[in-house]
């Protein structure tokens, strides 16, 4: 077996001033070259994204959202659940990264107890990290087939829940450690001020996200990636009703004038508002992965190929700049450039940081989040990285040509993650 471990495990966290670490693409992951040891994606699906606290998924438990997407992967591929060698689920807000709920979701999906499962919390990149953990398992020979997933109910757990434990007093003696406690909205303001991303640019980017998402939804472009979920929701009186949710709830009519009227959300005189920030949301997504040789043996078509993955560290007080440093590392590992990429799915934690990253890297805006991003769709923290893979690959399939997508996001406490995924073309996915 060709040694691909350095693709998944060779990237250590780096400061933003030290991102020129030399890396080589793994021979088995060289773009355009097929190998039986390639880590391939067989399917990627997600639930609709619900509005936290107010939407139709507010009373749906994480394990029920997970079982919905797990079952969808199995139904789409007709895969025997016993063939799954490992599962990893990303989550941010649940205790223990939701390890217990992940196991429940597995059993709700009739995946046997002989399949092991783990949970991971790398904050906003947790859904992507879960996929890459399973890819690493496959590269290391731990298993041949696995599922990487992500889930978050921001209705049932809020940022800050369970974080009231006493902090080490050392935190307040070391500035960079103390910076990890800066609220995310203030890090957005820091990026805007430090790198000159004005309110006009932020609102224009946000308007485009809403417009693109609305257009995509109206044309049914999300339908192939979304798994409708039937669930129970309570009204304000506590009365329950059964609903089937099939559409994202965060997309809303938006105008430049409406965005301009919104007040700063995090500090007086600031530029970050509710309209140019990601929405708090509920949702789940899952990605089925395999070694190419295993996919061939089972006669399963290849939906995507993982070509590289990178994680970097950046200053915590401007954590949003992470993609600007992670994306070049992932591209270098894959032997590609910005010009080679067809779609950049960059998480829109805040318009300030998304605009900065896109401009710094010279990415054409028409390639960024062509169906809208988290400002319009929402950002269920642990789910987003897996959701982005589903969104990108289904859009690549719709276009029908072989090409490449980058999945990237900033990460709280000062990091960025990025992956390069190849869509092999329609002939490989028939």
Residues taking part in catalysis: 124, 379, 410
Q: Which residue has the tokens 């890819």?
A: 135
In 47-112, beta strands by DSSP E: 50-51, 86-90
Q: Which long-range contacts (CB under 8 A, 24 or more apart) does 255-261 make?
A: 255/207, 256/203, 256/204, 256/207, 259/203, 259/206, 259/207, 260/203
What CA–CA distance (Å, rounded) separates 255 from 94? 36
3-state secondary structure of 166: coil
Q: In a 10 Å sphere around its CB, with 0-12 CB exposed, 13-18 middle and 19+ buried, how is residue 222 labelled? A: buried
Q: Which long-range contacts (CB under 8 A, 24 or more apart) does 260-263 make?
A: 260/203
What CA–CA distance (Å, rounded) separates 346 from 45? 18
What CA–CA distance (Å, rounded) separates 343 from 358? 12
What CA–CA distance (Å, rounded) separates 100 from 83? 22
Q: How many CA atoms lie within 13 A of 174 on its CB side?
A: 9
What CA–CA distance (Å, rounded) separates 149 from 386? 6
Among 331, 402, 270, CA closest to 11:
331
Q: Which two tokens stand for residue 15?
A: 């400061």
> Which residues does 337 contact at the CB level (< 8 Å), separation at least 6?
331
What CA–CA distance (Å, rounded) separates 77 from 342? 26
Among 217, 206, 415, CA closest to 317:
415
Q: Which two tokens stand for residue 257?
A: 């004038």
Q: Which two tokens stand for residue 333?
A: 């590992």
3-state secondary structure of 154: coil
3-state secondary structure of 24: coil
3-state secondary structure of 95: helix
Q: What's 190's DSSP letter?
A: H
Q: Please list the residues that pair with 405 across neighbouring strands.
A: 343, 421
The answer to whether 124 touches 384, Cβ cutoff 8 Å, is: yes
């Amino acid at each position: 077996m060709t040694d691909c471990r350095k693709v998944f495990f060779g990237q250590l966290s780096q400061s933003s001033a030290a991102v020129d670490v030399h890396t080589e693409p793994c021979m088995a992951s060289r773009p355009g070259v097929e190998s039986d040891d390639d880590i391939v994606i067989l399917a990627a699906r997600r639930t609709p994204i619900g509005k936290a606290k107010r939407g139709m998924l507010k009373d749906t438990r994480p394990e029920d959202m997970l079982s919905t997407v797990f079952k969808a992967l199995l139904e789409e591929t007709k895969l025997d659940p016993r063939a799954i060698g490992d599962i990893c689920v990303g989550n941010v807000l649940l205790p223990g990264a939701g390890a217990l709920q992940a196991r429940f979701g597995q059993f709700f999906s009739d995946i046997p107890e002989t399949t092991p499962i783990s949970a991971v919390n790398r904050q906003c990149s947790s859904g992507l990290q879960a996929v890459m953990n399973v890819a690493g398992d496959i590269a290391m020979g731990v298993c041949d087939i696995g599922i990487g997933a992500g889930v978050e109910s921001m209705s049932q757990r809020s940022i800050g829940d369970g974080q009231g434990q006493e902090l080490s007093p050392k935190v307040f003696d070391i500035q960079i450690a103390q910076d990890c406690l800066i609220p995310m909205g203030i890090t957005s303001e820091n990026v805007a001020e430090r790198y000159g991303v004005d309110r006009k640019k932020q609102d224009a980017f946000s308007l485009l996200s809403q417009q693109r998402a609305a257009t995509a939804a109206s044309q049914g472009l999300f339908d192939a990636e979304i798994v409708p979920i039937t669930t129970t929701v309570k009204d304000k009186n506590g009365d329950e009703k059964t609903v089937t949710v099939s559409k994202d709830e965060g997309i809303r009519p938006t105008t430049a004038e409406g965005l301009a009227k919104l007040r700063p959300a995090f500090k007086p005189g600031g530029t970050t508002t509710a309209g140019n920030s990601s929405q708090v949301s509920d949702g789940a997504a899952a990605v089925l992965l395999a070694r190419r040789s295993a996919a061939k043996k089972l006669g399963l078509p290849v939906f995507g190929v993982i070509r590289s993955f990178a994680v970097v560290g950046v200053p915590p007080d401007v954590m949003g700049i992470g993609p600007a440093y992670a994306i070049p590392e992932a591209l270098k590992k894959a032997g590609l450039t910005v010009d080679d990429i067809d779609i950049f799915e960059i998480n829109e934690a805040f318009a300030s940081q998304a605009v900065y990253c896109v401009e710094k890297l010279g990415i054409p805006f028409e390639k960024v989040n062509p169906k809208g991003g988290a400002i319009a769709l929402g950002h269920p923290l642990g789910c987003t990285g897996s959701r982005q893979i589903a969104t990108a690959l289904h859009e690549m399939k719709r276009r029908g040509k072989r090409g490449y997508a980058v999945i990237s996001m900033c990460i709280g406490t000062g990091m960025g993650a990025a992956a390069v995924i190849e869509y092999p073309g329609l002939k490989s996915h028939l």
